[in-house]
């Protein structure tokens, strides 16, 4: 194309200097608002599906439960996107902070190719084995038909999900939060418009919801790739960077392993929750779990969006050796995240039926899920600490600590508690739900202590501005 790459790279380095110079509070607000909005909107993909499906006049409750059983698989698909992007995007930001734009673009290109490979493998697995997976994940004879109908169509759009979620992180990493917000906004608006048309207008039911989702993701995917290939982007997908180089890929996978564990383990956790709940509470308890998961997404995605807004600031300044801005960004992220989770916790405790009522009007499910939500959400008020610490670990490239935190919360604490608590509680079904808040409180305590020591160590090891990369 006739570019002078050296001159172009110097220009691009300067374009990202605002991450290291603009006041942290103002910058976090500038990046976080679009990112939070994007996270809320992104949640609408599956949430809107569930709202429409839950209000279907015939078998709405069973259809909702069937789609809910699909969620563990959908979470795994999203987790593979996070495996690559959540490791690659912070590394790209750190390289930009060091003034090494070519290294950042090599990271982008290699991660793009890796996600194409992962997409092909996931699509094949989902199309061949989805029924067996869904039965293992808690589908019953009453709900398996709805679950298979949804997943057969969703599987075809796996590549769009992978590239949209994965590559959008590199737009955010550059500080272009408004453009990354547009990615999910375009898809979500289209999904909201297509859902009632396909579900009710064409009478496709759950298949219509899945079709609306993958078409929306396809449009979002086109938007992301056109941006990362165009002149507006500081980092561009270039043909010469598409090779799968182990020296680039392996550090990204290592850093992305914690987000992958956090998200993919949700599928394992969902299987355990659904199997235990099916044993003690039947389809109503499993259906309630679908709603609880949705409300948790409503609670956590804004916090995740805030943390993702802070990521390019932290990573860039960590690469540039600016200790003061790294510390200030973390403490500001901690204060805002914790405030949000505390306020949300208060509203959920006071008005659980309002949150549950978004997803169902069923006379049996509404009061049961409202009671379960109070129990399930009891430890969520402190979760802002967990999110701020974990994202900062990832932003500064501390793969080991981020993996330890993820494994501790999900596998060491939550997984055993799902099976232990029913034997300790008078109400066995509510005992299953109690596993979540107990694990959250213990995990936050562990993470806070680990972060105190690891963050101080990382700050001491930073190079000062001007010391070089």
pLDDT tens digit string along 85-133?
Answer: 888 999 998 898 888 989 999 999 999 999 999 999 999 999 999 888 8
8 Å CB contact between 165 and 194: no
Are 52 and 132 in contact by the 8 Å Cβ rule? The answer is no
Distance, CA of 245 to CA of 433 (rounded, Å): 44
Give yes or no for residue 466 having a pLDDT over 60: no
Least confident residue range of 33-37, 79-83, 374-378, 411-415? 33-37
Is pLDDT at 62 greater than 90 in this prediction? no
Cβ atoms within 10 A of the Cβ of 350, count?
Answer: 9
pTM above 0.85, yes or no: no
Looking at residues 46-66, what average pLDDT do you find? 74
Q: Is 57 exposed, middle or buried (0-12, 13-18, 19+ CB in 10 A)?
A: exposed
pLDDT in tens, 174-221: 888 888 888 888 988 898 899 889 988 888 888 998 999 999 999 999
Condensed to tens digits (0 to 9), the pLDDT of residues 303-320 reads 887 888 898 899 989 988
């Amino acid at each position: 194309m006739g570019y002078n790459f050296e001159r172009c790279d110097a220009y691009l380095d300067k374009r990202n200097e605002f991450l290291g110079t603009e006041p942290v509070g103002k910058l976090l607000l500038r990046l976080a608002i679009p990112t939070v909005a994007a996270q809320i909107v992104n949640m609408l993909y599956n949430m809107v599906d569930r709202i429409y499906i839950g209000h279907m006049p015939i078998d709405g409750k069973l259809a909702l439960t069937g789609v809910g059983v699909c969620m563990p698989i959908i979470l795994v698909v999203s987790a593979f996107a996070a495996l690559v992007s959540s490791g690659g995007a912070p590394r790209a930001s750190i390289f930009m902070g060091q003034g090494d734009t070519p290294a950042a673009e090599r990271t982008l290109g290699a991660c793009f190719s890796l996600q194409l490979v992962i997409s092909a493998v996931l699509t094949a697995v989902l199309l061949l084995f989805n029924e067996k997976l869904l039965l293992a994940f808690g589908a019953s004879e009453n709900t398996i038909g709805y679950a298979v109908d949804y997943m057969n169509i969703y599987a075809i759009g796996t590549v769009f999900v992978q590239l949209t979620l994965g590559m959008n992180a590199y737009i955010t990493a550059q500080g272009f939060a408004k453009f990354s917000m547009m990615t999910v906004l375009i898809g979500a608006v289209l999904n909201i418009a297509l859902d009632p048309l396909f579900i009710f207008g064409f009478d496709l039911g759950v298949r219509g919801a899945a079709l609306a989702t993958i078409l929306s993701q396809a449009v979002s995917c086109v938007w992301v790739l056109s941006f990362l290939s165009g002149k507006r982007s500081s980092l561009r997908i270039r043909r010469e960077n598409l090779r799968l180089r182990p020296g680039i890929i392996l550090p990204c996978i290592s850093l992305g392993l914690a987000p992958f564990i956090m998200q993919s383990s949700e599928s394992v956790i969902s299987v355990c929750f659904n199997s235990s709940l099916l044993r003690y509470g039947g389809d109503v308890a499993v259906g309630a779990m679908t709603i609880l998961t949705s409300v948790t997404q409503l609670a956590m995605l804004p916090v995740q969006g805030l943390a993702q807004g802070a990521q390019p600031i932290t990573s860039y300044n960590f690469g540039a050796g600016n200790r003061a801005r790294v510390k200030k960004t973390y403490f500001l992220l901690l204060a805002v995240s914790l405030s949000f989770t505390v306020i949300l916790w208060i509203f959920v405790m006071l008005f659980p039926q309002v949150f549950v009522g978004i997803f169902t009007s069923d006379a049996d499910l509404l009061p049961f899920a409202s009671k379960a939500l109070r129990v399930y959400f009891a430890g969520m008020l402190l979760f802002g600490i967990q999110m701020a610490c974990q994202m900062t670990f990832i932003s500064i490239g501390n793969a080991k600590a981020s993996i330890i935190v993820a494994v501790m919360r999900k596998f060491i604490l939550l997984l055993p508690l799902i099976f232990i608590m029913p034997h300790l509680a008078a109400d066995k079904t509510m005992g299953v739900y109690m596993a979540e808040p107990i694990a959250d409180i213990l995990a936050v305590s562990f993470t806070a202590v680990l972060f105190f020591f690891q963050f101080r160590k990382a700050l001491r090891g930073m190079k000062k501005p001007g010391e070089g990369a």
